[in-house]
Structure 1
Amino acid sequence: MASKTSQIVLGTRALNRATLARQMLLERVPVGAGEAVSGLVGLQAQNVRPPYFQLHARLASFRPAELAAAMEAREVVRMVTLRSTIHTHTAHDALTLRPLVQAARDREVAQFRKGLGGVDLERLTRRVRAYVEEEPRTMAEIRAELLREWPGADPLGLSVAATRRLPLVQVTPRGVWGRSGQVRLTTVERWLGADAVAEAQERPLDVDGLVLRYLRAFGPASVKDMQVWAGTTRLREVFERLRPQLAAFRDESGVELFDLPDAPRPDEDTPAPPRFLPEFDNLLLSHADRSRVVPPELKGRSWSGNQAHCTLLVDGFLAGLWRLEEGGGLTVELFGRIGAAQEELVVAEGERLLADMAEEGSGSVRFASIRG
């Protein structure tokens, strides 16, 4: 095993290109939506539309109807998993990944213990399961049902307990492109059915396997990086157990990074085309040190309060924000100047997005005032 001081140092651009390659952002790849969702270990789906835009930025021939059909066929689902946020996962990952982060979700319930005094959490779990498996329920209905038994409890605490203690999925039509619907919840087991549950039991996912999948999608990465991505802790011993089968590097700050030996690590000068990413794209959320994508001087510029903006990558790095305009068209706001050649590529990529993803299907790409 190489000592830390003898490990190869990966600079920011090298890390950028390696991560973009794993994220299918150096070039669009010819795979289906389900395979991409699995390879990326889920898509951040705090809002309804971002998963569709995430796939459009990555897949060669993606159309929203493909992911919508997979959702309606229950091949993919929306549920709370990583970082306690809603993700779109394949059916298999929904059943096998959630148990691996369940301990962290349980700890979130403990934060509300003052408002849950006298609430038997095991009884609450059984009651919610029975209630939502009768038929999918809204959060308001679940909360009202629980308040009938524990009228003095904190309503928010009851809601958190229900959604963290149980693997609840948002049933369709919620999340289906072009349709609308309230958030209605049932258990992942009821929604996916006995056959899917049996298949998941035959092909379980353990924490070692999850580490390897994370590295394949987001590496090279540190232990802390993965802990940020998953919203969990105490993964050091897992990485140490896997060390003999991993490659180890350092970043320019001396932090140890792990990777799969056969994973792509392109040359740092590999071209990276412009890409329009939606709000909450996991590319920007899955490392403790995000400088591999977000230049230090732009840290925090893709957020306003708790709301993330849609982001533009130029040469692989955050370079601006974008939005679709009501009535058509796409507006780009750059953080700094880019060359004429890059601007032409941004316009071409924006026109592709408008043609494939804008509901109006028309309009043009315009540049707004450069943000200081």
Structure 2
Amino acid sequence: MKIPSPCFVLDESKLIQNLKLINSVQKKAGIEIILAFKGFAMWGAFSIVKKYVRGATASSLNEVKLCNEEMGVKSHTYCVAYTDEEFDQIVSASSHLTFNSIGQYNKFISRVPVEVSVGLRINPEWSDVETDLYNPSSPVSRLGISSKELIELPERVDGLHFHVLCESDSYALEKVLESLENRFGHLLPKIKWVNMGGGHLMTSQGYDTDHLINLLRAFKEKHKVDIILEPGSAFAWQTGDLHSSILDIVDNGGKKTAIFDGSFTCHMPDCLEMPYRPKLEKGSNVFIDDWHPYRLGGISCLAGDFLDEYWFEKPLQIGDSIVFKDMIHYTMVKTSTFNGVKHPSIGILKTNGDFELLREFGYEDFKNRLS
């Protein structure tokens, strides 16, 4: 089957390769690694994921339901804030429930069944994240409880949770754990588990998995706690691309812009928020002498829906394909149909080389998000 345009395409063999590494780390370290839906929620691939990991983390009622239905287990749940209307549904479908604040804990703890393990999100106040928009460890962050506020553990709290990394290495985690011990070390003998969140990019080239394994084993032995990691990017890192096609080439003010049938605003918002410049299958995101520069422009009406120059060996033509690399993690989960722009199809490139189309989107998908 021909790959439609635009289309997110997951490479099954690359996903399996990542899953094998993740499974190896969790076995050697003696910990549990679960999938974070906020980074990768392509449930059409969960039949593969479930062969290597048992659980997932959810941060909304919808993600809790997805975990129950498609992963087949109750979720590890953390929400920035729970609502009265949704809380009982969420807690009944969760194995672990983490509160973001003491206020939320006080409000809802009486409604948590005894069989659900309760945790608190804390802020270790150290992170290697340099983009403020994506840094949760600020002293004024809304995410997590500070050491000044959490002097003693409230009743029924079994665990502590933090998430302050983003596509980081194990040496960054080591520094976080040092800050954790300095700020919250007096609480560690009183808990059963520590959830170290996500941002552990163990499937990236050059990541020191041996250091990660030794670090986790040492922390587990020292503090006698179970350890949970919940990466999102690591699962789908470099496992698939966004395929698109050029619809038009606009030449204004001495700059050529290739208009493609996708959108940074709608389909790749990190490119504008971070900003992040994805690599292309054919083309360079850095200057190459004698190559041809083109801005890449999305199909939405937003003036800022473009990225500055990429360079191509040959002049681009209408109908040429543009393939944005590594667009499966933290990209598919953020898409929208703003401006009525068609959502990319979703498919899997199977290990035998065949392409399987999982989903196409149309008018009803756009309409049903509105009222």
Q: TM-score, normalised by structure 2?
A: 0.29
Name the one with the larger strand percent: 2
TM-score scaled by length of structure 1: 0.29
More helix by share: 1
